[in-house]
């Protein structure tokens, strides 16, 4: 059923996206070029609406009526996603204030928590027991959903970037859910994957439509919730798996925070130093930069799969390799600053001495 749902939602998204493009132009949901943006002409946004409509078709057509648990969880996702979509649509049309946009995200996240989807405990390694979060499970879950939702939104800077990175994350989460025997995550992940890939046909360089905040917020929201459903209430090490899968948006967001702290700028201040901007400055073309980031996202996902199957010491090794990879990406691209290159400088110094 998952393959049928994926194919159906892919075709639905391919057919719906041109209609959404016409709607975006008609209601004025367009993206104006400015100094921070790569595109040079007026572009329709609101493309995330096509992903959302395809998702709804998939949910209503493919979810089994006989399973009340799955139906209950799907309604939680539907209600929450309607709130996040409404927030994104209004922002794409009117550009909401950050406070109003954040309020919509919090409300959508609360729907998930009230629906019973939250991180309640973690089993510690070496038989050290269990950490019960109690009431803290609510803020922990809210922070996770908000962080991932906004990190997907932050990397939406090049044609096809957010959609492609999200598709890689959805493929990984769905694939791992198959091995873990989680039918809900497999089916919803397949529906989301098909809907996203259908839209990506129009969004990859040169893009005919942008997903806008409608799409970026929706994808981030759904990925954050699916990762919670797939990996909640597990060991401390397994809790790292969704962080690895979402390594690109998480690391880009974290280093944006570090960069603004180093430069003594407000956290909300925009800049042109995200990973995709850095790759463009290094001389990569628009599609090349996107494909490089796709490759990095795929490496993170592969590390997550290996991490999930490795022994405890093997997991440590994978984690160290990932951290080294992140550090090298940061130094080569200048993600923090052009002068931050401790390992590269050490290697250069060593070669000079020889």
Of the listed ranges 84-88, 172-176, 194-198, the one predicted with least confidence = 172-176
Percent of the chain predicted with pLDDT > 70:
87
Confidence of residue 234 (pLDDT cuts 50, 70, 90): low
Binding residues for Mg(2+): 153, 213
Helix and strand tally (H, E) in the chain?
Answer: 14, 4
Closest of 53, 50, 44, 43 to residue 19, by C-alpha: 50
Give pLDDT tens digits for 304-333.
Answer: 889 888 777 888 898 899 999 999 998 888
Distance CA 195, CA 336 (A): 34
Among 102-106, 108-112, 173-177, 260-264, name the one with the lowest average pLDDT: 260-264
Q: Which residue has the higher pLDDT, 54 or 30?
A: 54
* pLDDT greater than 80 at residue 208: yes
What's this model's pTM, rounded to 2 decimal places?
A: 0.89
Q: What pLDDT score was predicted for residue 342?
A: 84
Q: What is the pLDDT of residues 41-82, one digit of tens each?
A: 678 889 999 999 999 999 989 887 656 656 667 888 999 999
| pLDDT reported for residue 353 | 63
Interior angle at CA 61, CA 58 and CA 62, nearest 5: 75
> What was the pLDDT predicted at 354?
60
Confidence of residue 301 (pLDDT cuts 50, 70, 90): very high
Contacts of 125 (CB under 8 A, 6+ apart): 235, 236, 237, 312
332, exposed or middle or buried, with CB in 10 Å at 0-12, 13-18, 19+?
middle
Contact indicator for 272, 281 with CB cutoff of 8 Å = no
Indicate the domain borders of the chain.
Answer: 2-353
Binding residues: 153, 213
* pLDDT on residue 129: 62
267 within 8 A of 200, measured Cβ to Cβ: no
């Amino acid at each position: 059923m998952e393959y049928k749902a994926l194919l159906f939602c892919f075709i639905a998204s391919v057919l719906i996206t041109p209609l959404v493009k016409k709607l975006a132009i008609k209601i004025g949901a367009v993206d104006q070029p400015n100094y921070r943006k790569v595109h040079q002409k007026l572009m329709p946004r609101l493309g995330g609406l096509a992903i959302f409509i395809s998702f709804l078709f998939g949910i209503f057509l493919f979810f089994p009526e006989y399973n009340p648990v799955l139906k209950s969880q799907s309604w939680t996702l539907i209600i929450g996603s309607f709130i996040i979509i409404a927030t994104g649509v209004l922002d794409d049309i009117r550009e909401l204030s950050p406070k109003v946009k954040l309020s919509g995200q919090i409300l959508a996240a609360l729907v998930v928590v009230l629906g019973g989807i939250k991180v309640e405990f973690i089993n510690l390694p070496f038989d050290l027991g269990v950490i019960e979060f109690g009431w803290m499970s609510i803020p922990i879950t809210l922070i996770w959903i908000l962080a991932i939702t906004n990190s997907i939104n932050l990397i939406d800077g090049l044609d096809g970037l957010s959609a492609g990175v999200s598709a890689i994350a959805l493929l990984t989460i769905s694939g791992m859910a198959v091995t873990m025997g989680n039918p809900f995550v497999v089916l919803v992940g397949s529906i989301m994957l098909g809907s996203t890939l259908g839209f990506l046909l129009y969004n990859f360089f040169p893009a005919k439509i942008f997903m806008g905040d409608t799409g970026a917020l929706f994808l981030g929201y759904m990925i954050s919730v699916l990762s919670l459903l797939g990996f909640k209430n597990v060991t401390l090490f397994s809790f790292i798996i969704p962080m690895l899968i979402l390594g690109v948006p998480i690391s880009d967001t974290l280093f944006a925070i570090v960069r603004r702290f180093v430069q003594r700028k407000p956290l909300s201040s925009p800049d042109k130093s995200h990973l995709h901007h850095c790759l463009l400055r290094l001389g990569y073309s628009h599609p090349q930069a996107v494909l490089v980031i796709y490759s990095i996202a795929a490496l993170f996902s592969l590390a997550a799969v290996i991490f999930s199957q490795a022994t405890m010491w093997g997991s440590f090794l994978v984690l160290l390799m990932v951290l080294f990879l992140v550090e090298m990406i940061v130094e080569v691209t200048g993600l923090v600053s052009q002068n931050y290159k401790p390992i590269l400088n050490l290697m250069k110094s060593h070669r000079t001495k020889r």
